[in-house]
């Protein structure tokens, strides 16, 4: 209860400070009242969804997700506006101290400086405010197909030009637009890749979240098969289950669902893909993540039935596994496919110029292709979304990787 009281006080203080900027920028009272009403509505909805509207089992429901999204949007506007207004207040405070101690009676002021800074602050704050709203309205379904050509000296000749489609982090419990998901599934199929890999987090928490989408995802097609692994959210670790048996049953149900949809779920296992007289090994590990995430992945066990000199593609949900374990393993894993980070669903990407997201402060390898010690990883930016119900700058991704034999 104390945490809620502290949060409410801070939020209202930010809102009142921002209101001062509005009063400096405009003389229309209806603007003040509209801002006050929106601020209270966003706060009230957030408190309701996370208290009285709480879904049993600590599940992050869609209403809670949107409540968080609107709160984030409003607070981003407030904080950026306040930065400008606060700088003016600090200047006035320091000037007042200077005048008092040095007996200065005349003060130099820029006419309407406070109004100018208020307008400037709100103008700049409007950019993330609008971007976050756009991210919730359209950005989360702004699917992008990203194509990569990767060359290998030891790629078996029959696999030269072999096409892989990777998707990751579906988070089906967050979906709220069937038409957009149908479009995305069709977009995946239109890539006409040889094989399809899904690298974990089919659901947010419970297997039942996938029920409305099961038949749709069953239409995904690849001639050489569909392979999948588990992500940290698939185990149901973020739900308060009534019994351990209920949690275990949920995982079994999710595994069965994946099979029904045509996925070959790899649980620390391997498979071979054969073309003519050549083959490549597909290895799938359970989730292994740094920083408190489940470490069920067992690379040694998953690779028991493959040869050291095989060409290997590893499916591992969390890219920290690649950094901490895979690239230094005695086996050479030519290509690892991961997800997990979502690119934080927020950032700036201009191909060839800039790729930035706050998630880079936690994950060294957070989006796209990286190469270390002659081994590649692709960190897929994710198909779905979680928490903030949108995406800004880091769009949902369908990765298409073409394997090439270096000549």
Residues 183-234: tens digit of each pLDDT:
999 999 999 999 999 999 999 999 999 999 999 999 999 999 999 999 999 9
Which residues, in sequence order, are CB contacts of 394 under 8 Å at separation 6+? Answer: 342, 343, 344, 345, 346, 347, 349, 357, 367, 381
- 254 — phi, psi (to 5°)? -65, -40
Please report where in the chains the tokens 């700058």 appear, as a residue: 393
Residues with Cβ within 8 Å of 406's Cβ and at least 6 positions away in sequence, in order, are 151, 152, 153, 155
Which residues make Cβ contacts (< 8 Å) with residue 167, sequence separation at least 6? Answer: 188, 196, 197, 198, 199, 380, 383, 397, 398, 399
How far, CA to CA in Å, does 353 sit from each of 234, 347, 363, 404?
A: 35, 13, 20, 26
Of 374, 365, 286, give the one whose Cα is nearest residue 324. Answer: 365
Q: Which of 205, 167, 157, 182 has its CA nearest to residue 339?
A: 167
The mean per-residue pLDDT over the stretch 246-270 comes to 97
Q: Residue 399 above 90 pLDDT?
A: yes
The whole-angstrom separation of Cα 171 and Cα 187 is 18
Q: At what angle do helices 62-102 and 113-137 cross, to 10 degrees?
A: 170
Strand partners, 370: 377
Segment 343-396, tens digit of pLDDT: 999 999 988 889 999 999 999 999 999 999 999 999 999 999 999 999 999 999
Distance (Å, whole) CA 170 – CA 386: 9
Neighbours of 97 (CB within 10 A): 10
**Residue-by-residue DSSP string for 128-197:** HHHHHHHHHHTGGG--EEEEEEEEETT--GGGTTEEEEEE----GGG---HHHHHHHHHHHHTT--SEEE
Low-confidence winner among 74-78, 79-83, 317-321 (lowest mean pLDDT): 79-83
CATH homologous superfamily of domain 144-405?
Metallo-dependent phosphatases (3.60.21.10)
Q: Band of the pLDDT at 305, cuts 50, 70, 90?
A: very high
Residues 6+ apart with CB under 8 A from 219: 185, 189
Residue 379: which residues within 8 A CB-CB, separation 6 or more? 319, 338, 339, 340, 341, 363, 365, 366, 367, 368, 370
Is residue 111 scored above 50 in pLDDT?
no
Q: What is the band of 112 on the pLDDT scale with cuts at 50, 70, 90?
A: low
At 2, the pLDDT band (50, 70, 90 cuts) reads confident
Q: In this structure, are strands 269-275 and 278-284 parallel, antiparallel, or unpaired? A: antiparallel
**Where does 276-315 show beta strands of DSSP type E?**
278-284, 312-315
Q: How many CB atoms within 10 Å of residue 237?
A: 14
User: What 8-state DSSP symbol labels residue 205?
Assistant: S
Give the C-alpha distances (Å, rounded to integers) separating 115 from 26, 120, 339, 353, 378: 8, 8, 46, 36, 48
Dig out the tokens for 144 from the structure. Answer: 């992008």
Instruction: Give the residue from 140, 49, 133 showing the smallest Cα distance to 383.
Output: 140
User: pTM, whole model, 2 decimals?
Assistant: 0.91
pLDDT, the chain, mean: 91
Q: What is the pLDDT of residue 177?
A: 95
Q: Above 90 in pLDDT, residue 121? A: no
Distance CA 11, CA 160 (A): 57
- The torsion angles phi and psi of 338, rounded to 5 degrees, stand at -135, 180
pLDDT for the residue numbered 85 = 76
Domain ranges of the chain: 2-137, 144-405
């Amino acid at each position: 209860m104390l945490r809620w009281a502290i949060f409410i006080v801070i939020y209202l203080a930010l809102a009142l400070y921002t209101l001062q900027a509005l009063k400096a920028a405009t003389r229309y009272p209806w603007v003040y009242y509209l801002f006050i009403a929106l601020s209270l509505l966003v706060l009230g909805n957030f408190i309701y969804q996370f208290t009285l509207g709480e879904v049993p089992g600590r599940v992050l429901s869609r209403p809670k997700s949107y409540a968080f999204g609107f709160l984030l949007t409003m607070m981003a506007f407030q904080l950026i506006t306040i930065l400008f207004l606060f700088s003016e207040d600090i200047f006035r405070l320091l000037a007042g101290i200077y005048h008092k101690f040095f007996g200065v009676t005349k003060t130099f002021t820029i006419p309407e400086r406070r109004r100018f800074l208020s307008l400037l602050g709100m103008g700049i704050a409007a950019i993330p405010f609008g971007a976050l709203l756009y991210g919730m309205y359209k950005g989360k379904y702004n699917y992008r197909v990203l194509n990569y050509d990767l060359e290998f000296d030891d790629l078996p000749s029959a696999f030269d030009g072999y096409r892989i489609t990777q998707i990751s982090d579906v988070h089906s419990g967050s979906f709220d637009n069937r038409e957009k998901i149908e479009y995305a599934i069709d977009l995946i199929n239109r890539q006409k890749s040889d094989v399809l890999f899904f690298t974990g987090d089919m659901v947010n928490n419970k297997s039942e979240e996938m029920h409305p989408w099961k038949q749709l995802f069953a239409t995904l097609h690849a001639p050489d098969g569909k392979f999948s692994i588990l992500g940290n959210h698939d185990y149901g670790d973020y739900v308060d289950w009534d019994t351990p048996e209920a949690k275990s049953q949920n995982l079994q149900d999710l595994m069965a669902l994946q099979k029904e949809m045509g996925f070959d779920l790899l649980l620390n296992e391997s498979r071979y893909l054969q073309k003519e007289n050549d083959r490549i090994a597909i290895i799938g590990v359970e989730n292994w993540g740094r920083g408190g995430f489940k470490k069920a992945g067992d690379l040694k066990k998953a690779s028991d039935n493959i040869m050291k000199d095989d060409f290997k593609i590893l499916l591992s949900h969390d890219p920290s596994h690649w950094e901490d374990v895979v690239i230094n393993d005695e086996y050479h894993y030519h290509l690892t496919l991961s997800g997990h980070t979502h690119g934080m669903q927020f950032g700036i990407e201009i191909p060839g110029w800039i790729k930035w997201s706050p998630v880079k402060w936690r994950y060294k390898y957070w989006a796209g292709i990286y190469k270390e010690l002659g081994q590649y990883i692709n960190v897929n930016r994710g198909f779905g979304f979680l928490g903030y119900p949108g995406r800004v700058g880091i769009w949902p991704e369908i990765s298409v990787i073409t394997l090439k034999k270096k000549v």
